[in-house]
Amino acid sequence: MNSPSGSKSRSTWIAIIVAIGVIAAALAVFASLWSQVGDVEISTDGWIALGFGVLVALVLGIGLMALVFYSSRHGYD
């Protein structure tokens, strides 16, 4: 019979292998799609929209993480 720690270790390794497999599959699909796109130009408006989207995503992520830390340290959890 396996010890509890041995079973946990095995399931951890299985989860790591599955995660690596999913990442490898996603990268393979991404590389395939990227090679099919070819030369594409992004307009100035496209770059502005891309920069604005990245900025909004960063502000949202940082703001939400700040709220998580604030609520945890002040007992609101």
pLDDT digits (tens, 9 = 90+) for 17-33: 999 999 999 999 999 99
Look at the chain and report how many structural domains it folds into.
Answer: 2
Asked whether residue 4 falls in the same domain as residue 33, the answer is yes
Asked whether residue 17 falls in the same domain as residue 47, the answer is no
| pLDDT digit string, tens, across residues 61-76 | 999 999 999 998 988 7
Q: Distance between CA 21 and CA 4 in Å, rounded?
A: 26
Domain that holds residue 77: 41-77
Asked whether residue 62 falls in the same domain as residue 75, the answer is yes
Q: What does pLDDT average to over the chain?
A: 90
Contacts of residue 76, Cβ cutoff 8 Å, sequence gap at least 6 = 70
Q: Which residue has the higher pLDDT, 68 or 38?
A: 68
| Residue 30 vs residues 9, 26, 45: alpha-carbon distances, Å | 32, 6, 25
Asked whether residue 31 falls in the same domain as residue 54, the answer is no
Asked whether residue 3 falls in the same domain as residue 36, the answer is yes
